[in-house]
Amino acid sequence: MIVVATSDFELYHGVVNELRDRGVTFTTIEVDEDLPDATAVVVTGEDDADVFDDEPVTTIVAEPDAPRRAAEQALAALRGEGGRTIVGVDPGRRPGIAVCAGEMVVAGFQVPIGDAIDVIQREVADATDPVVRIGDGSRLESAKLVNELEDVRVELVDETGTTPYLGTGARGMGDVLAAVNIARLEGDVVENREIEPTAGELQVIKDRSRERSETNRAIDEVLARRVAAGELTVEEALAEHRNGSGDGVTDDAERDDSPPS
Whether residue 194 lies inside any domain: the answer is no
- pLDDT band for position 146 (cuts 50, 70, 90): very high
Regarding whether 93 and 60 lie in a shared domain, the answer is: no
Cβ neighbours of residue 6 under 8 Å, at least 6 residues apart? 12, 15, 31, 43, 44, 45, 48, 62
Domain boundary among 165, 189, 213: 189
Position 245 in a domain: yes
Given a cut of 50, whether residue 40 has pLDDT beyond it is yes
Nearest residue to 117 via CA among 93, 140, 146, 159: 146
Across the range 233-252, mean pLDDT stands at: 69
Q: At which of 171, 189, 207 does a domain end?
A: 189
Is residue 180 a part of any domain in this protein? yes
122 shares its domain with 181: yes
Q: What pLDDT is stored for residue 3 in this prediction?
A: 96
The answer to whether residues 51 and 142 belong to one domain is: no
Among 110-124, 130-144, 212-226, the minimum mean pLDDT is found in 212-226
Residue pLDDT, tens place only, 169-203: 888 899 999 999 999 999 999 998 887 888 888 89
Between strands 104-110 and 41-45, the pairing is unpaired
Q: Which of 132, 162, 189 is the last residue of a domain?
A: 189
The confidence score (pLDDT) of residue 178 equals 96
Q: Which is higher by pLDDT, 243 or 166?
A: 166
User: Which pLDDT tens digit goes with each residue over 10-24?
Assistant: 999 999 999 998 888
Span of 110-124, 181-195, 233-247 with lowest mean pLDDT: 233-247
In DSSP notation, 61-113 reads EE-TT-HHHHHHHHHHHHTTSTT-EEEEEE-SSS-EEEEEETTEEEEEEE--H
* CATH classification of the domain holding 90: 3.30.420.140
- pLDDT number for residue 132: 97
The β-bridge partners of 96 are: 90, 110
- Write down the pLDDT at residue 47: 92
Range 133-143 average pLDDT: 92
Question: Same domain for 37 and 70?
Answer: yes
3 state SS for 5-51:
CCCCHHHHHHHHHHHHHCCCCEEECCCCCCCCCCCCEEEEEHHHHHH
Query: Given a cut of 50, is residue 253 above it in pLDDT?
Result: no
Quick check: is 142 in a domain?
yes
Residues 210 and 155 in one domain: no
Residue 115 lies in a domain: yes
CB atoms under 10 Å from CB of 167, counted, come to 8
The verdict on 73 and 90 lying in the same domain is no
With respect to residue 261, please indicate whether it lies within any of the assigned structural domains: no
Q: Are residues 65 and 106 in the same domain?
A: no
- The whole-angstrom distance between residue 17's C-alpha and the CA centroid of its chain comes to 23
The angle at the Cα of 172, spanning 171 to 176, to the nearest 5 degrees, equals: 125
Alpha-carbon gap, residue 261 to 259, rounded angstroms: 6
Give the mean pLDDT of 231-251: 71
Instruction: Give the pLDDT band of residue 256 (cuts 50, 70, 90).
Output: very low
User: 154 lies in a domain?
Assistant: yes
Residues with Cβ within 8 Å of residue 133, at least 6 apart in sequence: 86, 87, 88, 89, 154, 155, 156, 157, 182, 183, 185, 186, 187
Same domain, 162 and 235: no
Q: Collect all residues with Cβ–Cβ distance below 8 Å to 24 and sequence separation of at least 6.
A: 2, 71, 75
CA distance 156 to 147: 12
Do residue 50 and residue 94 come from a single domain?
Answer: no
Domain count, the chain: 3
CATH code of the domain in which 49 resides: 3.40.50.2300
259 within some domain: no
Q: Which domain holds residue 234?
A: 199-254
Per-residue model confidence as pLDDT tens digits over 59-91 = 999 999 999 989 988 887 877 655 678 999 999
Indicate whether 120 pLDDT > 60. Answer: yes
In this structure, the answer to whether residues 37 and 69 fall within a common structural domain is yes
